[in-house]
Amino acid sequence: MKSVSSLDCVIEISEKINIQNSSDEIKINCSNSESSPTIDIEIKKSKINNRIHLTCNEKQDIKAAINLQIHNNATLEFIDEANYEGATDIKMNTIMRPNAVFELYRFNKFNVSTKNSFVHNCDLQSNCIFRDFNFSNGSKEMSNITKISLNEKNSKYIGSGVVIADSTNCKNQLDISHMSQSAISDCSFKTVSRGKSNVTFKGKVFVDDDCSDTVSSQISKGLVMSDESKINLTPILEINNDDVVCSHGAASGKPDDSVLFYLASRGIEKSDAEKLYMQGFLSEFLNKIENVQMQSKARDYINQNC
Amino acid sequence: MLEIKNLDVSVEDKQIIKNLNLKIGPGEVHAIMGPNGSGKSTIAHTLAGKPNYLVEAGNVDFKNEDLIAKDPYERSLLGLFLAFQYPIELPGVTNASYLKQILNAHRKSRGENPIDAGEFLKILKEKSRNLNIPMEMHSRFVNAGFSGGEKKKNEVLQMDLLNPSLIIMDETDSGLDVDALKSTSEAVNKLRDGKRSFLIITHYLRLLEYIEPDHVHVFGDGSIIESGDKSLASRIDNEGYEVK
Number of domains in chain B: 2
What's residue A49's pLDDT? 64
Judged against a pLDDT cut of 50, whether residue A15 lies above it is answered with no
Interface test with B, best of A190, A256, A266 (most B CBs within 10 A): A266
Q: Are residues B12 and B78 in the same domain?
A: yes
Structural domain contains residue B159:
no
Structural domain contains residue B151:
no
Q: Are residues B95 and B137 in the same domain?
A: yes
Smallest CA–CA distance, residue A270 to chain B, in Å, is 8
Q: B142-193 pLDDT, tens per residue? A: 999 998 889 999 999 999 999 999 999 998 888 788 888 888 888 888 888 8
Percent of chain B with pLDDT over 70: 99
Smallest CA–CA distance, residue A304 to chain B, in Å, is 15
Q: CB neighbours (10 Å) of residue A134?
A: 22
Q: Are residues B42 and B138 in the same domain?
A: no
Residue B186 structural domain: 2-86+166-239
Q: Are residues B182 and B66 in the same domain?
A: yes
Structural domain contains residue B150:
no
Taking CB atoms within 8 Å and a gap of at least 24, the contacts of B145-153 are B146/B87, B148/B174, B148/B175, B148/B176, B148/B180, B149/B175, B149/B176, B149/B177, B149/B180, B149/B184, B151/B87, B151/B175, B152/B83, B152/B87, B152/B176, B152/B180, B152/B184, B153/B180, B153/B183, B153/B184, B153/B187
Q: Are residues B40 and B129 in the same domain?
A: no
What's residue A183's pLDDT? 97
Q: CB neighbours (10 Å) of residue B52?
A: 10
| Nearest alpha-carbon partner for B79 in B96, B62, B91, B93 | B62
Smallest CA–CA distance, residue A294 to chain B, in Å, is 17
Which whole number is the average pLDDT over B196-213?
A: 90
Beta pairing, strands B53-62 & B65-66:
antiparallel
Sign of CA dihedral B126, B130, B131, B135: positive
Structural domain contains residue B81:
yes
Burial A188-217 (b: 16+ CB within 10 A, else e): bbbbbbbeebbbbbbbbbbbbeebeebebb
Residue in B50, B92, B158 closest to A281 by CB? B92
Q: CB neighbours (10 Å) of residue A251?
A: 11
Model's pTM, two decimal places?
0.88
Structural domain contains residue B155:
no
CATH number, residue B226: 3.40.50.300
Q: A45-101 pLDDT, tens per residue? A: 665 567 777 666 557 788 888 899 998 988 888 888 888 888 889 899 999 999 999
ipTM over 0.90: yes
Q: Are residues B26 and B121 in the same domain?
A: no
φ/ψ (deg, to 5) at B140: -90, 165
Q: B54-81 pLDDT, tens per residue? A: 999 999 999 999 999 999 999 999 999 9
Q: How confident is the model at residue A132 (pLDDT cuts 50, 70, 90)?
A: very high
Structural domain contains residue B160:
no
CB contact under 8 A, A269 and B109: no
What's residue A218's pLDDT? 96
Judged against a pLDDT cut of 70, whether residue B133 lies above it is answered with yes
Rg of chain B, C-alpha, whole Å: 18
Q: Are residues B187 and B232 in the same domain?
A: yes
Domain ranges across chain A: 8-254
Rounded CA-CA distance A257/B51 in Å is 9
Which whole number is the average pLDDT over A151-161?
A: 96
